[in-house]
Structure 1
Amino acid sequence: MYRKVFASKVFQRKVVVVTGGCSGIGRALVLRMARAGARLAILDLDPAALDSLVRHLADHLNAEAIGLPCDVAEAEQVSRAIEQVLERFGGIDVLINNAGITHRSTFAETDLRVFQRVMAVNFFGALHCTKAALPSLLERQGQIIVLSSLSGFTPLLYRSAYNASKHALHGLFDTLRHEIKGSGVNVMLVCPGFTATDLRKNALVGDGSVTRHPPLAIGKVAAPQDVAEAIYQGALRRRRLLVLSNVDWRARLLARYFPRLFERILLPRISGLRPSR
């Protein structure tokens, strides 16, 4: 009983910034943090979706929130948005770097602009937001949560740019964790598996356009609400790494210690392809 009561108060009145907060895992995290009593700053590209979500939070959850149109790939836009958050709320307690895009195309057929855009959003977006928010997070001994992926530790076919961006996130935030050790700021990397979000539906193809084909069949797909709840529980415990893969721990162990076996057995399946017979 006491533990439940304490847990329900951890994020009460805390200021939580969520990037890519209008859909998918981001929206589910916004709603979960609102139910925990947090004050929300939501960054997203879609002004209409932001307005609708902020109204929903106020009307249905009595939550205090602001919506800020922002392309996290643009450092100046991020700086302005974080300044607005600080002016409105006075500080930041939790930064959730959730915004991301993906693609489905072979390396040879993927235009350089696709690599640049995926890295700009997935890697530099998280870098920009963390750079801007870090002084306040240090002051308030807050938390940085970074949405990585199953592909942060295992390759996925036809997603070379996406895989590269997620590996880069691990390099950046594992280093940051060590550099600010003792500051009271926690850094948690989250690696969900395949999740039912618009990320998969709006994947880019090699020329930079959005795919017109449905997502590949990849077995069990998690609900954003379930992923958000797991992240919330991980944040309560201030975890360092949270792996939520549908393929679970076996993919990670096989990829690291038995790469040839992983490539033969699991790689085709988790990439959305049938294993060759």
Structure 2
Amino acid sequence: MYRKVFANKVFERKVVVVTGGCSGIGRALVLRMAQAGARLAILDLDQHELDSLVRHLADHLNAEAIGLRCDVADPEDVNRAMERVLERFGGIDMLVNNAGITHRSTFAETDLRVFQRVMAVNYFGALHCTKAALSSLLERQGQIVVLSSLSGFTPLLYRSAYNASKHALHGLFDTLRYEIKGSGVNVMLVCPGFTATDLRKNALVADGSVTRHPPLAIGKVAAPQDVAEAIYQGALRRRRLLVLSNIDWRARLLARYFPRLFERVLLPRISGLKP
């Protein structure tokens, strides 16, 4: 449930850009930031869904928002969207790189185009948006929030392209954090565990088509609203790393220090191969 009263004014009137903002964690975070008084720029692929969400924000939360159709994998599309954000709001205080896709197929069987598409959205999408927004973020000493994954700490079977894209995000944004140290801009990497979103339902398979099979059983699943609340609280504290994985800390330590035992005991379960 969303909270009714918000005493904190940190994000009041701040401009927050959220990619992939019409569903899942992105939508939950849009609603949470709207409740905190932020002005929203929502980027997604479906203009109808964008228009519907903007109306909902205005009617129910009295929030100022624009919805921009944008394919984050296309740098020109991203540049046009960011220009419109700057024209409308005058600057950007927070960029949330949330847009992402996944796949479920073995490395050997997966078409090269699937690897390229996953990297184009998950990695280059975040790169494009950050490049386009960085000047304004530096000017306003804002924040960059990047949605990574528990796969940044533990491998997941049959998701080699997805895992690679998340590792790439850590390499890029850990480096960026050091390069802009002292600028006043915070970079926060967020690593949720399995969350009840459409990401798994719309997973690509080996030939690049969308899966027709139901999501694999993976145990405990977090609610997008809970993840959004944790991200909001992390942003308030300007955290560098936020690990929200529902794969507990013992499993993460096992993966790092006892990889053979992890592969034998836990990897099949967290990959959805065992209940």
C-alpha contact 1:11 1:33 (8 A) present in aligned 2: yes
- How much has 1:96 moved relative to structure 2? 0.2
Give the distance between the partners of 2:3 and 2:129, measured in 1 at CA: 32
Deviation of residue 262 (structure 1)? 1.2
Structure 1 unaligned residues grouped into runs of 5+ = none
Deviation at 1:254, TM superposition (A): 1.4
Equivalent-residue separation in structure 1 for 2:3 and 2:63 (angstroms)? 24
User: Structure 1 CA distance, aligned partners of 2:248 and 2:239?
Assistant: 17
Cα shift at 1:252: 2.1
Say if 1:256 and 1:128 are closer, same or farther in 2 by CA, change over 3 A: same
Distance, in Å, in 2 between the alignment partners of 1:2 and 1:244 is 19
Distance in 2 separating the partners of 1:83 and 1:206? 36
Q: CA deviation at 1:103?
A: 0.3
| Cα deviation, residue 248, structure 1 | 2.3
- Counterparts of 1:5 and 1:184 in 2: how far apart (Å)? 29
Q: Structure 1, residues 220-258: CA drift from partner, whole Å, max 9, x if none?
A: 001100100011000010000000011122232111111
Identity percentage of aligned residues: 92
Alpha-carbon RMSD across the aligned residues, in angstroms, is 2.4
Cα distance in 2, alignment partners of residues 252 and 46 from structure 1: 36
1:52-107 deviation digits (Å, cap 9, x = unpaired): 00000000000000000000000000000000000000000000000000000000
Give the conservation status (yes or no) of the 8 Å contact 1:7–1:236: no
Q: TM-score, normalised by structure 1?
A: 0.96
Native 8 Å contact 1:101 1:203 kept in 2: yes
Shift in Å, 1:200: 0.7
Q: Is it true that 1:241 corresponds to 2:241 in the alignment?
A: yes
Structure having the larger proportion of residues in helix? 1
Cα separation, partners in 2 of 1:249 and 1:103, compared to 1, 3 Å: same
- Stretches of structure 2 lacking an aligned partner (at least 5 in a row): none
* Contact 2:2 2:32 (8 Å CA) reproduced: no
**2-structure distance, mates of 1:5, 1:20:** 26
Superposed structure 1 runs of 4+ greater than 3 Å apart: 1-7
Shift of 1:6: 9.2
- Does the alignment pair 1:83 with 2:83? yes
| Structure 2 CA distance for partners of 1:7 and 1:119, relative to 1, 3 Å | farther
CA distance in 1: counterparts of 2:248 and 2:145, whole angstroms: 20
| Contact preservation (8 Å) 2:6, 2:35 | no
- Indicate if the aligned counterparts of 1:222 and 1:246 stay in contact, CA closer than 8 A: yes
